[in-house]
Structure 1
């Protein structure tokens, strides 16, 4: 019991450090983008996405390279995406009031995000079909190669290209008041803090998996995912309270697109080849698809997220967490292990 309390304390400390680093890094990234006069597409699709998604990217790298737990990294990405879709908009509406959506957000950003979910699931499916791994436990596994990992990365390149076409005629404005040396310094400090915070979260997830005798990826979907997504939650809630609702949903969708198309493949590109268990991946991705459909349907109705719809999203996220708790206690066994 003492060990579990220690691990939960480590997760809490990691979350605090991660939050501090994320705030510093995102602020520094925005200053760097303004100082160099980068186009809006680069600021939004690259700088802002990298800043807000750095915790997820680091979680995949640490889980894969340090602990040999690629599925923990994937679980943290999927759990983070579910948190972003259900918890962040729900909290933003409950705390900040109703959120209006736009047709561009729903029909462009949301649809491209849905394509990102489908492409990642297709990548894992191709790994099982063309690179199957023989196992004695009867579970279906496959090796994700670097060639397969390049498929979602290429799709993200298409996403950036479509964003560029929308702002191709936009002028370039350089903010000369930005202290670039100071901005890069804070960027580095933020990155170091993120690495330390994520290390604490991943270590706690691995420890909790050992303590309960369950796979670490289950804890990655909750402990690591929620901890790494809290910075996005703070940004989105603040934007909703400041009457900038579009920023809230754009941040959610942009971050999820980057996580799925870049963060997960990066682990494969760095390690070379990584094995995935289809019995774990399909239920995880299946719930993400379900959450995406619910989010898209609610966002489309009257182009507004109401208080009633916000509570629907929050209840669905609580159901997601309860499912994972029941899996950890072996009450249900949708995720075979």
Structure 2
């Protein structure tokens, strides 16, 4: 058991690090060939924050653990909103001033509703997987087009440009892309295998292990990015990381078990977890588009998120 715990922790660290290096290399390479920073931020960087979840879901699905993959997708979104945003806004209230984010929030809510509907029959089919991955491609294309239409005074523009690496030699950028492509699936393989062993040792279901330890672990990059963003005054970037990650989790991550290993899933995913995710998404929408006109997530609302997260974890393990 100790060995598997060590393998899990090492796998988690390597997974997060290799995802960061992959995004770094891909962003630098894209900038070197002339891609606009805003497009890089809305596509490569946003998608890269979900890279650990995508690779873990694919690995779990290949090994027949669809419940782990589904749990990872749902649990990551729950963790992103309730824990990551909760901690971030508790450190400093988040102002929502970017028109880009105000467009993406309704998209996230719509995609969440689609995901809840697909899971409502406790089955994820290959057709549903194809629909989700097709929507993923459509959203990426839409964000690329949107990057050309963002107003220059949108605060997200300046915040994004500071996050895209500059003056990185192309050979270095290619090197980090290759490192990421090698280490991401390798670390995910060891992480999933050890997590499944730990879950079975303690009598925890594959779904719950995906919802908790794997979801929280793979959401650590979002937590680090959001806290760093808010400390630098980049509120829109901090919130954008969460919204983008949640969209990609439901389209790319949730698509993996449908495409690779379509099967019946644990009924709790439909009757409990997807509804918690939907409720949190609606709550985030209400907090960002409140009737006071401030468009701010304050510390009281952050506290509500954290309490919901703690209560949810209690329910999972009670």
2:72 to 54, 61, 76: 76
> Does structure 2 retain, via aligned residues, the 8 Å contact 1:74–1:264?
yes
> Does structure 2 retain, via aligned residues, the 8 Å contact 1:208–1:216?
no
Task: State the alpha-carbon separation in 2 of the partners of residues 24 and 142 from structure 1.
Answer: 35
Distance 1:279 1:92, change over 3 A: closer
Distance 1:18 1:312, change over 3 A: same
Is 1:313 the counterpart of 2:305? The answer is yes
Structure 1 ranges of 4+ moved more than 6 A: none
Shift of 1:44: 3.3
Shift of 1:103: 6.1
Is 1:144 the counterpart of 2:125? The answer is yes
Shift of 1:312: 1.9
Distance 1:99 1:280, change over 3 A: closer
Task: State the alpha-carbon separation in 1 of the partners of residues 140 and 185 from structure 2.
Answer: 26
Deviation per CA, 1:114-172, whole angstroms, max 9, x where unpaired?
111111222334xx4xxxxxxxxxxxx54512x2222223333443344344344689x
Is 1:48 the counterpart of 2:45? The answer is yes
The RMSD of aligned alpha carbons is 2.6
1:92 to 88, 91, 94: 88
> Which residue number in structure 1 is paired with residue 222 of structure 2?
232
Q: TM-score w.r.t. structure 1 length? A: 0.81
Asked which structure has the greater CA Rg, the reply is 1
> Which residue number in structure 1 is paired with residue 23 of structure 2?
26
Deviation per CA, 1:174-213, whole angstroms, max 9, x where unpaired?
x994422211211221333333433343223211221122
> Does structure 2 retain, via aligned residues, the 8 Å contact 1:88–1:233?
yes
Distance 1:282 1:103, change over 3 A: farther
Task: State the alpha-carbon separation in 2 of the partners of residues 300 and 279 from structure 1.
Answer: 30
Distance 1:60 1:234, change over 3 A: same
Residues matched between the structures, number:
303
1:211 to 185, 194, 201: 201
2:173 to 179, 183, 186: 183
Is 1:251 the counterpart of 2:241? The answer is yes
- 1:240-319 correspondence runs (5 A): 240-271=230-261, 273-301=262-290, 302-319=294-311
> Does structure 2 retain, via aligned residues, the 8 Å contact 1:63–1:73?
yes
Structure 2 residue ranges without an equivalent (≥5): 153-160
Shift of 1:311: 2.0
Distance 1:282 1:181, change over 3 A: farther
Q: TM-score w.r.t. structure 2 length? A: 0.85
Is 1:15 the counterpart of 2:12? The answer is yes
> Does structure 2 retain, via aligned residues, the 8 Å contact 1:86–1:291?
yes
Task: State the alpha-carbon separation in 2 of the partners of residues 203 and 284 from structure 1.
Answer: 23
Distance 1:256 1:183, change over 3 A: same
Deviation per CA, 1:291-334, whole angstroms, max 9, x where unpaired?
112222222332112222222212211112222111xxxxxxxx
Task: State the alpha-carbon separation in 2 of the partners of residues 142 and 255 from structure 1.
Answer: 23
Task: State the alpha-carbon separation in 2 of the partners of residues 219 and 169 from structure 1.
Answer: 41
> Does structure 1 retain, via aligned residues, the 8 Å contact 2:125–2:259?
no
Distance 1:296 1:27, change over 3 A: same
Distance 1:44 1:275, change over 3 A: farther
